[in-house]
């Protein structure tokens, strides 16, 4: 097991390229099992633990998977021989549930372990299962597994009681090969959902309305293999922008889509950053500026993303004043706060809010990562702190950030990975 060691107070400078979005790639990998002819080639793939785990899962089912030197992945599902996602393979990631819809739609059966992932609150799968049941699936849960069968999924109207990204994606995939028409109401509008819809359409699906809260799918008889490049990771983009802001640096983030991070850019401008952007890059300049406090309230896209809450919390710890962070998505997403207070941050929790009083200086300390985005926020406070910070349990960060310490070193950070 490794740890990260950071010597802080070094302003970041330079350029950094963002990797492909994990949350776009994972459902595409799962959707590949539905291909009836040809193979799927996915490009702009991040080198992440969750991607590796999903590839291992597909291989265990019999899917032929080939990786080239550029991390492009070719998938041929014609050799698939079982429809089983075992606990040992999927216990570390939430997205394992995304194989359920594609397997049911294409093969009429699936046995999937109840998902794991970050310990940041309940993420119920009931909405997925209720929707698939409405489409004609027979589902039972026993011994920690979801067992589902159907003779044929049939399109229907699905009205999610609240926005769910993975729920929208699961039903979107399941509906492509279902009989008749499906309409998803209160659909998630995240860019990764849009990218999945575009990917499926290129494969031969008939989907309209993705990117709005009403998605319409007309079932087709077959999907074909294609080559597709996943969109860049907006959360990695935001994390690097905050890294520059918290260290008083100036960086350009390349291979990104600025409109996908508009709410993040707006908050960083409020904090005092000078920001300019082109079609595929964003430049942030925070040299000589002490951050101003910014209040945020998380919500479903296009509101402020919960996956950037911990990073803005980090920035506010050294802001000139008091800020309030309100978390509306997950009820247990302030586990990073206790670790930040070990480094001198002044944060008070009240229900789903964090009240932060900015301090002049943070001080390095040994800390422990508790989930993916919390681990990123601890790197950020480590970059801003006096002295040395050691972060343990960094396997969390390897689930969502591609070579983060290498990219930060390119920007001048004093950060290294060492075995414990």
The catalytic residue positions are 118
Whether the CB-CB separation of 101 and 70 falls below 8 Å is answered with no
SS (H, E, C) the chain: CEEEEEECCCCCEEEEECCECHHHHHHHHHHHHHEEECCEEEECCCCCHHHHHHHHHHHHHCCEEEECCCCCEEEEHHHCCCCEECHHHHCCCHHHHHHHHHHHHHHCEEEEECCCCCCCCCCCCHHHHHHHHHCCCEEEEECCEEEEECCCCECCEEECCCCCHHHHHHHHHHHHCCECEEEEECCCCCHHHHHHHHHHHHCCCEEECECECEEEEECCCCEECCEEECCECHHHHHHHHHHHHHCCCEEEEECCCHHHHHHHHHHHHHCCCEEEECCCEEEEECCCCCCCCCCEEECCCCCECHHHHHHHHHHHCCCCCEEEEECCCCCCCCHHHHHHHCCCCEEEEECCEEEEECCCCCECCEEECCCHHHHHHHHHHHHHCECEEEEECCHHHHCCCCCHHHHHHHCCCEEEEEEC
CA distance 293 to 165: 30
Q: Which of 305, 371, 392, 333 is nearest to 93 (CA)?
A: 371
Q: Which residues of 399-410 are buried (b: 16+ CB within 10 A; e: fewer)?
A: bbbbebbebbee
Residue 360: exposure state from Cβ atoms within 10 A (0-12, 13-18, ≥19): exposed
Q: Which residues of 28-66 are buried (b: 16+ CB within 10 A; e: fewer)?
A: bbbbbbbbbeebbbbebbbebbbbebbbebbeebebebe
């Amino acid at each position: 097991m490794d740890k990260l060691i950071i010597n802080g107070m070094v302003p970041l400078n330079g350029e950094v390229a963002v990797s492909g979005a994990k949350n776009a790639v994972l459902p595409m990998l799962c959707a590949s099992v539905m291909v009836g002819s040809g193979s799927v080639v996915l490009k702009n793939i991040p080198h992440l633990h969750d991607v590796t785990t999903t590839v291992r899962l597909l291989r265990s089912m019999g899917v032929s998977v080939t990786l080239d030197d550029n991390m492009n992945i070719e998938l041929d599902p014609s050799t698939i021989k079982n429809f089983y996602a075992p606990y040992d393979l999927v216990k570390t990631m939430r997205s394992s549930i995304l194989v359920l819809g594609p397997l049911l739609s294409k093969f009429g059966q699936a046995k999937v372990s109840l998902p794991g992932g970050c310990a940041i609150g309940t993420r119920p799968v009931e909405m997925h299962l209720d929707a698939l049941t409405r489409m004609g699936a027979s589902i039972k849960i026993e011994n920690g597994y979801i067992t589902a069968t159907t003779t044929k999924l049939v399109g229907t109207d699905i009205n999610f009681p609240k926005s769910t990204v993975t729920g929208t994606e699961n039903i979107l995939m399941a509906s492509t090969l279902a009989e008749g028409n499906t309409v998803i109401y209160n659909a998630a509008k995240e860019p990764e959902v849009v990218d999945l819809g575009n990917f499926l359409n290129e494969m031969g699906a008939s989907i309209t309305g993705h990117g709005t809260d009403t998605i319409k799918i007309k079932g087709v008889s077959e999907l074909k293999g294609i080559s597709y490049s996943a969109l860049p990771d907006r959360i990695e983009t935001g994390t690097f922008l905050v890294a520059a802001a918290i260290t008083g640096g100036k960086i350009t983030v390349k291979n990104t889509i600025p409109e996908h991070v508009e709410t993040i850019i707006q908050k960083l401008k409020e904090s005092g950053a000078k920001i300019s952007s082109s079609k595929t890059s964003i430049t942030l300049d925070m040299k000589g500026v002490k951050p101003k406090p910014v209040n945020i309230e998380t919500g479903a896209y296009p509101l402020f993303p919960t996956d950037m809450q911990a990073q803005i919390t980090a920035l506010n710890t050294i802001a000139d004043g008091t800020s309030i962070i309100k978390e509306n998505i997950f009820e247990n997403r302030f586990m990073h706060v206790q670790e930040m207070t070990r480094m001198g941050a002044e944060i008070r929790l009240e229900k789903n809010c964090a009240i932060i009083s900015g301090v002049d200086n943070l001080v390095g300390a040994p800390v422990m990562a508790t989930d993916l985005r919390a681990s990123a926020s601890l790197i950020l406070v480590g970059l801003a702190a006096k002295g040395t910070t050691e972060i343990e349990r960094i396997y969390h960060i390897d689930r969502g950030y591609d070579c983060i310490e290498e990219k930060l070193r390119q920007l001048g950070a004093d950060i290294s990975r060492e075995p414990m």
